[in-house]
Structure 1
């Protein structure tokens, strides 16, 4: 999910309408992207009001204007890089098949833009890397290898760039967030998480994290836990969260949590898909 300056929320969708646009009350405005995507996954909107979207099945990252016109494509459609990755029904076996980090892309997941206009991409389900491009789409460098050590990844699932141009990488299957400077140097990591999927840093430097363990966690920029909630007090037949997959915060501090309702394994989780939580203080 991404939010533009006109307070419209852009939701990536795995069905026939890849990008759906709503107002902040959930009223549908429009959709676009048909013909561009195999499976839209992650997005960001930069200060120049362009939206960048990853596609983890056709192995591309595309820059659009906010009307849905494609302006630039990174990667070669349907041509994954060589990493040893073998796709299969078992996610963990597929991740374990990755033998080395590769060039862009093999199932890229997340994208964000630095204050200098550089493009950072997390890559991905079939790779173990972060790639840095300049604004024209020229690859500058990449870093990362499969594994549990610092600067190693097991499913880099999303990333964000903060106001200091630090790169926050959601290292999902290592259950942590790793933080790097803009040159790819490791700074620190947060491990008080379980299978995080996405993060958002708001204008007050509050960090919001969605986790597959059916919860949302909120931290200060320095890693102090402020709040955490999930399915406590909810009946198992009607949980608050099923599989949080994306997160966003608007200018009022209201929180949006997106979930995957139908998985690639054709498991229908029956989730509410998107929920909005209003800030109360």
Structure 2
């Protein structure tokens, strides 16, 4: 496969598949994915995945980094857009073409981001739901937004992710809050307040999903959640090890776990009436 010249973006096109374009868009939206995550999203065979990622890197569409693992060895490769990937996405969305220096700085900032683990964990949630749809044709992840996309649309909230999940004829929207154990649980529970404000203003009443890193953490979080905003916002918890599509969600105040699609969800009166939107379609309060 030929190497691309700096000015030869069009020459790459014969080598770019529809699957490649989906991957470029995901990385544009969510910044970084590991080899394992890309494998789960798009490939059956890991070796095929590794070969294709190497080819896309040779074309300048992708780039990668990884760190040493504590105790020896290396972490998995973390994949981002390469310079040509940034150029391609800029052209696709009508953005100004980035310079090579800008693309390099973007990757350097991402790789040094102290919240990189948190970002990858949030992305893992969408990866697992998408992988679930590959095994269950009746399921569909209709929307998978990053924190930046949700913040742009809804202004007053900053979830770690937002999505719309459907199985058969049932659909549920959700707000994702990823907990990695670094914040006090009182602060974690207090995140419900901003969702309550949105709901009271006619915005979506989607369940807030607290995805926690351990069962012990989950148990103590429920002690903080008891009675908090229960009349306005539904919330539920599950641990990172679980398949988020399955019956792993424990709603606050409940004694049994339910599937994601079984959680109550309401698009809200303002959204349903298509009200409170500006000329760009951004929801306003």
Q: Do Structure 1 and Structure 2 share a fold, with TM-score over 0.5?
A: no
In proportion to residue count, which structure has more helix? 2
Q: Which has the larger Rg?
A: 2
TM-score (norm 1): 0.29
TM-score (norm 2): 0.29
In proportion to residue count, which structure has more strand? 1
Q: Which has the higher relative contact order, 1 or 2, with Cα contacts under 8 A spaced 6 or more apart? A: 2
